[in-house]
Structure 1
């Protein structure tokens, strides 16, 4: 038999009602008391049952999804895709925003509310490769994104290097040779962050085409936002650099680039072609519509939920961790002179 609420109350030296208040996030519990109850819950691995289904099976029918920022369209649309995929498995989803903060991501893996859930999907940004061992948790967990590879849990990610390379190859195929990149966050491209992997793909594609990388055309941005894209574009123009295409590391940046080009009187795609990354819905309604990399968001959501469901239902010896990558495509639209039909990258 697992621990009961009474066991938690005895261990924490509080009443059963206080334990219930903590579990239900009742706001009027003293911080010291709350921490004592949470510590007892973790120590005893207490898992409350929330429904009749839980009483029968020990499962809640709820999974968690923790993402860095819901204001960023990619993560909002990923959350939507996860919710739809989970519904098909009869699961509800609790979505949490971590703001890309490492401590917030670690709290997702340790707080009492994880006991409400059968498993968690986590997209870390603050955590890095050095934190891989911290993913060894006593509940089903599937990792999303690029920050940590080779960890002890299932991992679903995208082909960042090859898909970024395909975006550059698309620009090369329409005769562009002075291709700027917008969205770098530093000089070190050896880590596994999204920006570094996409920069690596950009550089590789140019090198394979025999085109030297002009470092003046590699632009940093503080944020992957429309404002960041527009500011980087204006810097390129103000500094007098010659370019005939821009590869932006996400669609928000690319939409800002489109705005900046319009403000500067540059025609798209005649003077400058633009490619983004993520295939967010907004891109197809931009003027001109945005060519972009579709990284397989729907497949990522379906695969992640399926892996988590397998782990939730797993019995006996735990199977080895798996890493899976979704297929990508280049969606060719008006910003590179194409139609609105996707071209699948091989």
Structure 2
């Protein structure tokens, strides 16, 4: 039997009206009361009647999450974190996989305008002018949207890449390669990381061979394996002594290629990833990685979206989530 609003109110020790205010993100509710109601919602497994809610408030209680791919570990973790943060606000989160295709991203935008209360969008191809149309609350993730005049959450990729490169230089590495460079629209993340890498190498007066800036045809395990194989095919004198991969999946594929070729990590080549996925702490050797906490990204995006929904209008706030270098065995002799 479905849990009623009254049962939630009884469990939380408040009135049904207060429960309704919390579920509908009414701003004038104390934090203590809000937490008590959300705890009761979670404990009882309450799910709002979406039809009744929409008829009464014009809202569905459903928000969208548009992601390029839920097959990648990072985006799967992001979906999980957004789902949990949304659940704490009484939302249902609808996930759409776009594969980064313009038509799919625009189809998701159309769904946003007609069926959802708001959306969090990891944009790859869609243009700012397309997302800017309409008034439904919206938060953009990823570097493709960093210059958009819309609410945005992300990391400072150039600064993080500079710090990652510094970490390798401080470990005594001078011939550093990168795997994950990108070009063109939708490739802003890789391009910015490469820019940060090159800037730090210039400041250290270290050369960057063109062969050391690798643009794979994807960001998965196979691409990482093949890209590292290409670096290992270079004459020994031209090989890098460290490799920075632009996500952990590339790094995990690269680590396997190094193992298959009998290359000692980090003795001969130090290896570093990005995203600090849980699996990175269980490899041999354990993988050093750039960490941008996915839970913080999700919470910041959901909080931004909740504020827009409560206010009934979009915002243009940009939030930069801090990063850190998680040093492990793959870069430490």
**When the two structures are superposed, what TM-score results if normalisation uses the length of structure 1?**
0.77
Q: Which residue of the other structure, out of 250, 253, 256, is the alignment partner of 2:247?
A: 250
2:119 alignment partner in structure 1 = 120
SS where residue 268 of structure 1 aligns?
A: coil
1:295 alignment partner in structure 2 = 292
In the aligned structure 1, how far is the partner of 2:315 from the partner of 2:59? 23
Moved more, 256-265 or 210-219: 210-219
2:171 alignment partner in structure 1 = 174
Matches within 5 A, 1:109-258: 109-111=109-111, 114-127=113-126, 131-136=127-132, 137-186=134-183, 193-240=188-235, 241-258=238-255
In the aligned structure 2, how far is the partner of 1:319 from the partner of 1:67? 20
Q: Which residue of the other structure, out of 278, 281, 286, is the alignment partner of 1:284?
A: 281
TM-superposition CA deviations, 1:144-184 (whole Å, max 9, x none): 11113443421111111111111111111111111111122
List gaps (5 residues or longer) in structure 2.
1-48
Distance 1:152 1:201, change over 3 A: closer
1:105 alignment partner in structure 2 = 105
2:61 alignment partner in structure 1 = 61
2:264 alignment partner in structure 1 = 267
Distance 1:80 1:221, change over 3 A: same
Give the count of matched residue pairs: 282
Matches within 5 A, 1:41-56: 50-56=50-56
In the aligned structure 2, how far is the partner of 1:66 from the partner of 1:322? 20
Contact 2:151 2:314 in 1 (8 A): no
In the aligned structure 1, how far is the partner of 2:122 from the partner of 2:281? 26
TM-superposition CA deviations, 1:106-156 (whole Å, max 9, x none): 111113x653321011111122xxx21211223111111111344342111
SS where residue 316 of structure 2 aligns?
A: coil
Contact 2:182 2:188 in 1 (8 A): no
Distance 1:191 1:135, change over 3 A: closer
2:44 alignment partner in structure 1 = none
In the aligned structure 2, how far is the partner of 1:149 from the partner of 1:325? 10
2:331 alignment partner in structure 1 = 336
In the aligned structure 2, how far is the partner of 1:135 from the partner of 1:319? 12
List gaps (5 residues or longer) in structure 1.
1-48, 339-346
Task: Give the drift of 1:320.
Answer: 4.7
Q: Which has the higher contact order (CA 8 A, sep 6+)?
A: 2
SS where residue 160 of structure 2 aligns?
A: helix
| Structure 1 residue ranges (4+ consecutive) displaced by more than 6 angstroms after TM superposition | none
**When the two structures are superposed, what TM-score results if normalisation uses the length of structure 2?**
0.80
In the aligned structure 1, how far is the partner of 2:177 from the partner of 2:108? 38
Task: Give the drift of 1:50.
Answer: 3.0
In the aligned structure 2, how far is the partner of 1:237 from the partner of 1:146? 31
Provide the aligned C-alpha RMSD in A.
1.9
